Structure 1
Amino acid sequence: MDKILLIEDDDIIGEMICMYLTEEGFLVHRCLNGQEGMSALSEFNPDLILLDLVLPDYEGTELCNTLRSLTPVPIIIISSNSKVSEKIEAFTVGADDYLCKPFSMHEMKARIGVLLRRFKRELPARQEAAPARQEITVPPAELEINVEKRTLHVRGESIEMTFSEFELIRLLIEHPERVYRREDLINALRGFDSYINERSIDVHITNLRRKIEVNPKEPRYIKTVWGVGYKFVI
């Protein structure tokens, strides 16, 4: 039985989702705020998370970013905000899908099914993959990245990053000199049915250059390969 963690403070919507998914054979645990959701993550060990963007104690995208750093399971955002900018921000911080309220329960179930099947299909590869290096230092020790703690230090200074920015810099640093097409980077972040586009990748790269380069206009590390994509140079 697949387990769904629902983080939703609206009683009417929360109860409707709980009742529907329970009748459809899911085990559902509902939390009313972000703090409860964080606690339930390890205790309930869900297979998928449904996350409302408007909560009494957390800003939704901030919580999504935190959850993504702690678990690889699919995250579906449920929100009354249908703006494209809000959707892009949600995907940037780790969401796998986005449902606008009001939505069809049948559509919600279908999207849950798609994400669960994809995640389970990828799970054996995740489990069999060789352990990644936990700490990577770029000579001459200007950049230090800790994969487990999800931290990056640039010339000794701790750098704040979004989920996608960290995943991008980690991927580039782990494979120096490899040229990545924008499509490759999109797929590495969100999977093949991603909503993130090439423009989003360019924005992330620009932000990373501002954070790690001495002169972002003449980058030393993240190089543009014109007509192709980007690569990391040591």
Structure 2
Amino acid sequence: LQTLPGKVSFSGMHVLQKLCVTECGLTTMAGVTNCPQLTHLDLSHNAITRIEPAVFMKLPRLKTLWLNENRIRRIEGLEPLTNLKTLWMAKNQLTGIYDSLEKTVALEELNLAGNKIGHFKDIPALARMDKLTSLAFSEPHFGENPVCALCNYSTYCLFHLQQLKVLDANNIADEARQLAEATFMKKKMYYNMRIKTLKRNTSNVI
């Protein structure tokens, strides 16, 4: 399969369940729509820049999707994948998660290591995914996101994502979760007090 061109069609493969097309310079995912029985799809190490919205409409059985080391800038078009359990999009060009995963209700493992995500604001949305037990923003092979360098990164993740059992390839101990909860609540109380003090001082000045 190493000689496949940038655009490829898999017509006639209606019973195919697993497909791996890596390091072929693929620029589009359109051809996989001809494989309605797919449960595992690996398109890692290619040149894909976006997920075309219609690609997964005909892949309702897909459970594992690997799109590592492409050039994808946004997570999109995954709404039809209600049976998806594993999603790896490490080492792309993602800058956020937004609400792109709210329909992937069966997702258990999400790897976004080595991207460009640099803020906390998308993390609480993952709390609605109650089956998500493994999350990676950092991973030895793919590297980390800028968000991992922010103060209290682990504390923030552990506090908001109570369903997690593994964070950044490390098992989460009960002690670590309890410490994260205690630390988060202390900081929340501290900042609330600071806000009240500032408001009071501002009122006195006015």
TM-score normalised over the length of structure 1:
0.32
Higher relative contact order (CA 8 A, sep 6+): 1
From the two aligned structures, give the one with the greater helix fraction.
1
From the two aligned structures, give the one with the greater strand fraction.
1
TM-score normalised over the length of structure 2:
0.35
